[in-house]
Amino acid sequence: MGKLKRIGILTGGGDCPGLNAVIRAVAKSALLGGLDVLGIEDGYLGLIENRIRPLSYEDVSGILTRGGTILGSCNKANPSSHLVLDDGEWVKKDVRDRAMETFMRHELDAVVVIGGDGTMSGAAELIEKGLPIVGVPKTIDNDLCATEVTFGHDTAVNTAAEALDKVHTTASSHHRAMVVEIMGRYAGWLALHAGVAAGADVILIPEIPFDIEKVADQCRRRRRRGKGFTIIAAGEGAIPKGGQQFVDRVDATSPDPIRLGGVAKYVSDEIHKITGLDSRHVVLGHVQRGGTPTPYDRVLATRFGHHAFELLTAGRMNRLVVMQDGRIDSVPIEDVANRVRTVPLDSPLIAAARAVGTSFGD
C-alpha cells in the first residue's frame, strides 16, 4: 500500500476500562505524525451505517483515565451476519460490502479495531473482503488467544477482588457462605485471579467441573476449624460435574446469543440444603466492566496503542498486537479468530491456590 494518510478507529464488543487509553495512544501518535484520524461510532455499526466523524487532538486529550469509550460500542453487530429488516421480518445478512463502501467513501487507508474474540473474528471476515486492519486486544475476560494479557483485565480483577473483600466481613459476622458470581464467560481467568487475590476458600472456574458435595465439604471443614463462614468465587461459566453451564437468557439479536448466569444462586442454594449453613449469593454483573482503569491497564493500553500505530506505519496490516513472554509483539488476526484462551489445568496459579488450601470443587 502507499503512504499512510488517513486511519479509522473503532471499539467493538462490550465496553472495558482502558478503551479510551488506546484510542488516545493511537490517535495522538497518528495526529502528531501528520495523519488524519476518523472515529467510527459504535463498533462495526459505524462501518455498516456510515457513522464516522473526525477526531481532533482535543477530542482525545484528557481521556486516559476515563472508563468506557468515547466512540461508543456494540456487541450485536457482525458485518458478515447482520440483522436487517427484510419485508417486515428480521433476517441475518452479509453486509461486509456495505462496510467496505463506508471504508472507501471516507478514503481510509486502514482501521484500528479494538476488541475481544468476537470483534477479532469479525475483523478476520472483513480482512477477507480486503479491509486493512490492525487489532488491539481488549477484554476483561483475558480469553483472547496468542496474548498473555488483555487490557481491562487488571481493572476487572481489582473490582471483583474488592467485592470479595467486602462480602468477607458480612460472611464472617453472620457465619454465612457467600458466593460471588464473577464474569469471564467460558474462561476462568477473572474468577481465578480475583479469587486468589481475595483469598477465596473456593474458586469455581469453567475449566474444572465442580462437585457440589466437595464444595459443601469445604464449608463443613471450615466450620469444624472454627471458621463459620466460607467465601466462594464462582466464574459465571463454571459447570457442575455431569451438568451444563447455567444460562440466564438467550439473546437472538446477538452474534453470540448465550448469556450465562445463575451458577452463584445454584451453589448458594445447594450449600444450604446440604449443610444447613446460611448462605447468600451476589452477582457482580456489569460493575466489573466499568470505572476508571488501573494504572497497569492505562500503561498496557498505551503500549498496545503505540505498537498498533507502529504496525500501521510499517505497513504490517491484518495483525493483532499481543503480549508474549512479557514483550509486545503481533500475530496474524486470523490466528486468534474464533478461538478462546482458557486456563490450563497445569497453571502455576491453580497449583499455588491449591497449596494454600483453596478448593476448586474437584
On the question of a common fold for 6-151+293-335 and 155-290, the answer reads: yes
Confirm if 99 and 126 have CB atoms less than 8 A apart: yes
Give the relative orientation of helices 263-275 and 212-224 as an angle to the nearest 10 degrees.
60
249 DSSP β-pair partners: 259
| pLDDT of the chain, 362 residues: tens digit per residue | 568 999 999 999 889 999 999 999 999 999 999 999 999 999 999 999 999 999 999 999 999 999 999 999 988 788 998 888 777 787 889 999 999 999 999 999 999 999 999 999 999 999 999 999 999 999 999 999 999 999 999 999 999 999 999 999 999 889 999 999 999 999 999 999 999 999 999 999 999 999 999 999 999 999 999 898 999 999 999 999 999 999 988 877 776 778 889 999 999 999 999 999 999 999 999 999 999 999 999 999 999 999 999 999 999 999 999 999 999 999 999 999 889 999 999 999 999 999 999 999 99
pLDDT score recorded for residue 89: 80
CA–CA distance, 137 with 119 (Å, rounded to integer) = 9
Q: Are the C-beta atoms of residues 36 and 67 closer than 8 Å to each other?
A: no
- CATH 3.40.50.2300 applies to domain 155-290: no
Q: How far apart are CA 143 and CA 189, in angstroms?
A: 7
The pLDDT of residue 160 is 97
Q: What is the DSSP letter of 190?
A: H
pLDDT at 325: 94
310 closest CA partner among 136, 58, 152, 146: 136
Q: What is the CATH number of domain 6-151+293-335?
A: 3.40.50.450
Distance CA 57, CA 123 (A): 26
Q: What is the pLDDT of residue 1?
A: 54
For the record, the C-alpha cell of 82 comes out as 447482520
Number of CB atoms found within 10 A of residue 332's CB: 14
Indicate which residues carry an active-site annotation.
141
Q: What pLDDT was estimated at residue 279?
A: 95
Separation CA 115–CA 102 (nearest Å) = 20
**Cβ–Cβ under 8 Å, residues 8 and 113:** no
Burial class (CB in 10 A: 0-12, 13-18, 19+), 111: buried
The residue extents of the domains of the chain are: 6-151+293-335, 155-290
Residue bearing cell 450449600: 271
